[in-house]
Structure 1
Amino acid sequence: MFDGVVRTLSDVRHVPELKRNLISLSTLDSKGYRYTAESGVLKISKGSLVVMKGQRKIAKLYVLQSSTVTGDAAVASSSLSDDDITKLWHMRLGHMSENGVTELSKRGLLDGQGICKLNFCEHCVFGKQKRVQFTRGIHNTKGTLEYIHSDLWGPSGVPSRGGANYMLTFIDDFSRKVWAFFLKQKSDVFSAFKSWKIMIEKQTGKQIKYLRTDNGLEFCSDEFNRLCKSEGIMRHLTVRHTPQQNGVAERMNRTIIEKVRCILSNANLPKLFWAEVASTACFLINQSPSVAIEKKTPQEVWSGNPANYSDLKIFACPAYAHVDNGKLEPRSIKCVFLGYKTGVKGYKLWCPENRKVVISRDVVFDETAMIPNLSLKDSSNKENQKQVEHQINTETRREIKPPKKYAEADLVAYALNVAEDIDANQEPSNYSEAVSCEDSEKWMFAMQEEMESLHKNRTWDLVKLPKGKKVVRCKWVFKKKEGTPGVEELRYKARLVAKGYSQILGLDFTDVFSPVVKHSSIRALLGIVAMHDLELEQLDVKTAFLHGELEEDIYMQQPEGFIVSEKEDYVCLLRKSLYGLKQSPRQWYKRFDSFMTSHDFKRSSLDSCVYFKKNSNGSFV
């Protein structure tokens, strides 16, 4: 399940014709489970423990957030369609071309059937759109290490996690296998080449015969030339400003960086992970069919053994690594999949909690979080981005500081009226931006939810504007709300806010003072709970201000995008204290106070926000 725990369903029925697996809520109910649905999320509980979660998708169905265990590791499965299976392998293989995926499927190397035509992939456009085409050179090499191509890519513009700014690649012409090294500076090229040369020649028992590079100083230093001369390596250099003469290395770098851009776009990871992505890209290129070697894979030609795809996972998908921190502690920790560790039978994971890379074999993967049209569309990978960026970067947020002319009671109204200025790079600043951005469907759904809440609370009546009355304007404020990592998903919130700063004292409002609970009261309450071993509960009132009754007649324009047909000239006569109005905090407090006192609660004389109630049996709240 979403929490990494394996659960088994009993009394299931097998219907081969069904394209999707279905879970019966009535059966769960009969087995003592209970379920609730709110804001498009269905939660199934046993006692106080949430054991299943699903998100509402098409056809009013909820898609379960889960994985299917298949051995040492688990692979996400939701009875995928052919399109989904194709996308899954396309992303697992680092956005391999459609021809490459089809070729591997024909050979029976990819688990599952159903590889079909690959639909449009936006991440491939971002990562691979071409401008020029290199000519293709031909080398009649007879074996490995006869002819090596090399090139240095960089500077990256963004240092990697390890501080690297350059990528040095070596390509074997016969097998087209590629190796990559990540360097902090150009002067490290010679030592990297020497280390790679010793390693590769000891592994194969062969020696490098030809080396093709450009004529950059990093490849033509005195020590580099001396080494090649002493080892009998023939040098082939390009003419200045003619990278096409080093076509194999240049094209390989382009292929690697295209995959890096695709994967970073798909995963929504910060650019400082580019080296990890590039390393994974090289690993996948070595497992991918190449036209230059008759559609064989570099690893197959190099080693003589066919490639194995059973352990491939989508880069940056959520990964739950097994831990054992105590009998009552969680059995897994949520990480981000960062590729494959060379020479180790395990997966490379980034742990946002302690900001470290860990290697683990006991991992449960949730690859469905990365497939666009499945249950976690766009939300989980963006949640991962939020988690990772929050751990890596020091977020800077501008504090809301209203002008001195605003009284304390106006803080809420002021904050809501300037909310679009905060995180302006993440959220739309107005209705037009919300309906035209890439997340327009999510924002529209959020606005519809807000309107349903407003109508449910009977917030206003549509009326003709009386003569002599002015209209208060309104606006939409948008916010992405982060949930608890691994429990709640990223939510898109839209709030309709009245522009209360245009209200006139004595006409649109009178008193605005509203008490706020003191910190000392909260500390005292917690002390009493601990001293007497009491039960402590906390709750949140949704759209709290909409519970407050207005005492003045306030007329507001109709919300943008939700103007009632044939009543375009009508205005909203507010019945409830909408967010943004100056008197909203006070009206909410008055409503809350009247409710508490009507239920025999007494208000503290020391703090107007503290209430207590003594019961006849001596207990108290």
Structure 2
Amino acid sequence: MYFTPENDENNKIIKATMKDGMYIISHVKPGYEDSAFFALSAEIIDGTKGEVEELTMTEKERYLIWHRRFNHLGPDKIRNLHKVTTLQRPIKVPSTLDVCEVCALTKMTNRIPSQLSARKSKRLELIHFDIAGPFPRTIRGHRYFLLIIDSATRVNWVILLKQKSDTIPLLKAWKQEIELATGVAVIAARTDNAPELLQAVREWKTGMRSEVTVVASSHQNGPAERNIRAAETDIRAMLKEAHLPLEFWDEAVEHDVYIRNRTSIGPDANGIDRSPLEAFTGTLPDIDTCKVWGSRCYAYINPKTIPKGQRHDKLRDTARVGIFLGYSKDTTKHIKVYSPELGYTYRSYRVTIDESYKGGDLDLKLRNCVAGSQGTKNIEPNRRPRGRPKNVPESSSIPVDPPISPNEIITDSIEVRLPIPKRTKTEIPRFDEDEHGNIRQVIDDLTRPAGENNKESDVTLPDITSPPDHTPPKSRGSI
């Protein structure tokens, strides 16, 4: 609104806006800064919007030229330009701005919605799935895993893959199994544009709706992406905690899905948190059997399973040492154990788990593993140095004083040559992954066998345990 003097309604000396019941003065006519007047006429301006007016052609051109002069600055900053510069009067901004082609082509950004999409109300009404990998080849030959998430309950399923083409038959088998178990059909599936996923959905042929994200817009399949990220971080933590090599990541991701389905990431019911498994099955999960993954364990040996040709006497051990790797998919009474003696993972119903010892500290005795019997450790190698080390002399002269007896005064010193081993090129192992996912050590001219060029220089130390003879030499003229 505008404020005017009492007898001069056409003289608008103060301009202000009303916001929250208060007048906010934005302009005072010069010469009236210290005066006070009653508001006899007022024009209300919406304080929530910018000061826009129907401008003449000249004023529009003025706005556009300043918009270009200040590198296509936004309208709000151009409106306040006179407050921070020597500009005499404000630049009026048009009420309707035409599309600036330069701004549209150069200043557009990707806006990812901060609000998550609403969850579905019924289970299997919408499922999200995606493939993660490739990872190093495991003992069982897996390189990828397919993660499936139910939108309503957030329950997770994992399918291990040796290659991406295995997705089509395994995903079809999972769909048939889950629909028979629940009696509910999958209504819609959301995935990205991976060819194997699109082909798998097309082959279901059940009238299910397929929802495909926009290319390079993974946030549209957010539940799958977030759960894959959580699974990968948990895999790293589990392998690090158990001191196990990378070849056990597939066992880790299966147990991680088992654990995550029993956490509070499911939908709430009347303000009460629920786990995904409870939301999906209606049963409160039992976690009394949960143990630390990767711990050392002892599994019972059934005498009937001992092959012929081995000991069957009564004094044979009744259990073998192994590593606890989780539970069977169908029941927690079947425990998965990796046996270094057998070289593979098997199921056992009678197992004693010792959570105080890490399974990775055992001699794993991995078979057919190019990284060795202990596998590929999940550690970062030292940085490979650049350049060659500087030459170091084989030995150096260091003056050493001999021992002195209490009654002897010595003014000489003996020069002793201490051996200094030759410096070798730093041996730092480097690893690379071949086309089959096997991790191999790279051997080049800088990688030398241990002990080579580590010989010390052949220098004999003098015996300084007894004081030397300091008898002065005889002169040439003496007889």
Q: Secondary structure at the match of 2:288?
A: coil
Per-residue Cα deviation, 1:370-392 (whole angstroms, up to 9, x for no partner): 4xxxxxxxxxx5523xx126556
Q: Secondary structure at the match of 1:334?
A: strand
Q: 1:329 to 1:138 in 2, by over 3 A?
A: same
Match of 1:143 in 2: 122
Contact 1:269/1:388 (CA < 8 Å) preserved in 2? no
Q: How does 1:507-522 map to 2 (within 5 A)?
A: 507-508=460-461
Give 1:363's match in structure 2, choosing from 351, 354, 357: 351
Match of 1:225 in 2: 202
AA paired with 1:502?
A: S
Residues 1:174 and 2:152 are matched in the alignment:
yes
Residues 1:469 and 2:416 are matched in the alignment:
yes
Q: Secondary structure at the match of 2:357?
A: helix
Match of 2:224 in 1: 249
AA paired with 2:456?
A: Y
CA displacement at 1:168 relative to structure 2: 1.0
Per-residue Cα deviation, 1:411-451 (whole angstroms, up to 9, x for no partner): xxxxxxxxxxxxxx9999xxxxxxxxxxxxxxxxxxxxxxx
Q: 1:135 to 1:264 in 2, by over 3 A?
A: farther
Distance 2:182 2:121 in 1: 15
Match of 1:326 in 2: 313
Q: Secondary structure at the match of 1:240?
A: coil
Q: 1:310 to 1:319 in 2, by over 3 A?
A: same
User: Quick check: which one's helix share is greater?
Assistant: 1
Q: How does 1:137-536 map to 2 (within 5 A)?
A: 137-156=116-135, 158-221=136-199, 224-225=201-202, 227=204, 230-290=205-265, 292-293=267-268, 295-323=273-301, 324=303, 326-344=313-331, 345-370=333-358, 381-384=359-362, 387-388=363-364, 393=369, 467-472=414-419, 501-504=456-459, 507-508=460-461
Q: Secondary structure at the match of 2:341?
A: coil
Distance 2:346 2:171 in 1: 28
Q: 1:226 to 1:327 in 2, by over 3 A?
A: closer
**RMSD, matched Cα:** 3.6
CA displacement at 1:251 relative to structure 2: 0.6
Q: 1:553 to 1:395 in 2, by over 3 A?
A: farther
Q: 1:327 to 1:236 in 2, by over 3 A?
A: same
Distance 2:113 2:238 in 1: 24
Q: Which has the larger radius of gyration?
A: 2
TM-score normalised by the chain length of structure 2: 0.53
Q: 1:470 to 1:238 in 2, by over 3 A?
A: same
CA displacement at 1:176 relative to structure 2: 0.8
TM-score normalised by the chain length of structure 1: 0.41
Q: Which runs of 5+ in 2 are unaligned?
A: 1-111, 304-311, 374-378, 383-401, 405-411, 423-453, 468-479
Match of 2:463 in 1: 553
How many matched pairs? 284
CA displacement at 1:271 relative to structure 2: 1.1
Per-residue Cα deviation, 1:253-309 (whole angstroms, up to 9, x for no partner): 111111111101111212121111111111111111116546311111111111111
Q: Secondary structure at the match of 1:138?
A: coil
Distance 1:278 1:316 in 2: 12
Distance 1:264 1:308 in 2: 25
Q: 1:426 to 1:246 in 2, by over 3 A?
A: closer
Q: 1:179 to 1:365 in 2, by over 3 A?
A: same
Match of 2:9 in 1: none
Distance 2:125 2:380 in 1: 52
Q: 1:396 to 1:191 in 2, by over 3 A?
A: closer
Per-residue Cα deviation, 1:577-619 (whole angstroms, up to 9, x for no partner): xxxxxxxxxxxxxxxxxxxxxxxxxxxxxxxxxxxxxxxxxxx
Distance 1:167 1:396 in 2: 24
CA displacement at 1:232 relative to structure 2: 2.0
Query: What is the identity percentage for the equivalent residue pairs of Structure 1 and Structure 2?
Result: 27
Match of 1:613 in 2: none
Q: 1:463 to 1:135 in 2, by over 3 A?
A: farther
Q: Which runs of 5+ in 1 are unaligned?
A: 1-132, 371-380, 398-424, 429-461, 476-498, 509-551, 556-572, 574-621
Q: 1:235 to 1:326 in 2, by over 3 A?
A: same
Match of 1:120 in 2: none
Match of 1:106 in 2: none
Distance 1:347 1:353 in 2: 17
Distance 1:142 1:427 in 2: 49
Q: 1:258 to 1:352 in 2, by over 3 A?
A: same
